[in-house]
Structures are given as structure tokens and as C-alpha cells.
Structure 1
């Protein structure tokens, strides 16, 4: 049997929606034996965590049509320290958006392309439809069916890592 594989989930969340999505993905990944899963807030994750992982899930709210500043800070702090050292490793992304999410997804894709990571799924975007200041700043509750999608992505990522599919 192969050595235990590792999945790093890096997230940022201000109102709880993205955290719920990341936790659901972690639960799905942990259902697979033969994998360790580390869930880290973007402020706590760094280059050493990236180098130690076999695959990645990046989770962020879309703030002003971009990834969150905390996730961007994680990428800024880690980018050059791991460049050309993680080529070909798989990744996926989780986006919690008020209306769209695609710009944040594209931003992660550009960074991952620079790291030469391999996407294993389309970005999973959950739309909360928060459009007013009050709704945007309010604590989020992600619907169970959306959390199931996040859990399934985590499980698929873990299974693929363990089986050596990617």
C-alpha cells in the first residue's frame, strides 16, 4: 500500500459560509482511509504546509469580485517559496459568493497555473444571493445540499489522491 497521502485545505471566511464549505470538504475527505487532512485558516498556512501536502483545496469568499485578502496574503507569502517544487499536484477550489464567484475562481486558477497545479474539478461556487450591506455582513448558513456538494468534492479529492489517480 502507498504511504498516507495528505490534503491541505486553506480557507478564509468572515461570515462563516466559506468555513462551512471547507469543513464539509474536510469531512468528505476524512471519510477516505489512507489520507490526512489539514484544515488551516489562510493566516495560519504557509509554504511549509504547501510543500508537505499532496493536494490542495482553496476556499474563499468572493470579496469585491476577488479572492479574500487573507487568501491572497497566503498566496503572496507562499508563492515563490514553493514555485517549481509542487508542479503537477492536484487542486480544487470552493467559492462562497453573493452573486457570481467566477472572478475569484479565475484568480485562484491563475495562481494555480503559475504553480503548475493540476485542476481536478471545476470551481465549486455557492451563491448566497447576499446583495445588501446587511445581508453581505450577516452570518451565513449554507444549505445542506450545497454542503453535500462540498463534502463530495472533498471525498473525490481524497479518493483520487489515495488511488493515485492524480
Structure 2
């Protein structure tokens, strides 16, 4: 069975709603053969990453950057996973109160360095997530999971 690792930092109600929509999409019954593993960014280990076949990443935009928790995740796993995870698919969702550009760019820099492949369009939301935003989060989860489905 393929393993999809969802690494997230979810400090707000808006991010919680996005997280739940991603989880619902990634675990939809129509997609078979994929185990969804959820980990808070501060507790995710290199072993978690090495055991996964694909990744979903969720972060707030904090001061023009990804959250410190997601940055810590990348700092922790980068070198132990650098050669072993190249080519694996990932998806990203980001929430910010205004500008999310720096957060997206910082995650793209880390994933490019790891050699991960963007599996779907990023979901980027400013302000309160709309119904369409949450549907996009569902699609993100389902799309990445479907790429791992057997």
C-alpha cells in the first residue's frame, strides 16, 4: 500500500478547515491502496518522510515565509532524505491574511532542492476560505492520493 504523508502546521480555524478538506480528499473511498498519515510539522521525522511515497504540505504564511514549524521540518529532514526521495510527488496548501508569495516561494525552494515533483496546483488562500477554496483543497488531497493509488 502506498503511503501519503500530510505534514502540516495548523494554528488557525482557517487552516483547520483547509486541513480537513485536504484530508477528506486524500482519504476519499474512491481512491484505493493509499494510506494517509498525518503529522504535525514539529513532530515529523526523516523516517516518516522516507517511508512515504508522496507528500501533502500545509502552512500559514508568517511574516512573508512558511511557518517556522514547516521550516523546522525541512531543516530536520533535508539531508537525511535528499537522495532517497527525489521524484516523489507533493502538493501544497497555504493560508495567509494578505500576501502568501514568500511562503509559497520558500516551500518551492525546499521542495526543488529535495527534487520533489509538484503533483497539483498549489492552493493559496488569503482571508477566510470560501467554499471554492475548500473544494480546491479537497481536489488537492484527492489528486496527490490518486497519483499514488494502485
Q: TM-score, normalised by structure 2?
A: 0.93
CA contact (8 A) 1:86 1:116 kept: yes
Matches within 5 A, 1:14-53: 14-31=11-28, 32-53=31-52
**How far does the alpha carbon of each residue in 1:8-27 deviate from its partner, in whole angstroms, 9 at most, with x for none?**
11010222322321221111
Distance (Å, rounded) in 1 between the aligned partners of 2:118 and 2:67:
20
Q: Which residue of 2 aligns with 1:138?
A: none
CA contact (8 A) 1:18 1:96 kept: yes
Q: TM-score, normalised by structure 1?
A: 0.84
Distance (Å, rounded) in 1 between the aligned partners of 2:77 and 2:27:
25
State the structure with more CA Rg.
1
Tell me, which stretches of 5 or more residues in structure 1 are unaligned?
Answer: 129-140
Q: Which residue of 2 aligns with 1:158?
A: 145
CA contact (8 A) 2:120 2:143 kept: no
**Stretches of 4+ aligned residues off by more than 6 angstroms:** none
Distance (Å, rounded) in 2 between the aligned partners of 1:66 and 1:157:
24
Q: How many residues align structurally?
A: 148
Q: Which residue of 2 aligns with 1:5?
A: 2
Distance (Å, rounded) in 2 between the aligned partners of 1:121 and 1:160:
10
Tell me, which stretches of 5 or more residues in structure 2 are unaligned?
Answer: none
* Range 14-23 or range 30-39, more displaced: 14-23
Question: What is the Cα-based RMSD across aligned positions, in Å?
Answer: 1.3
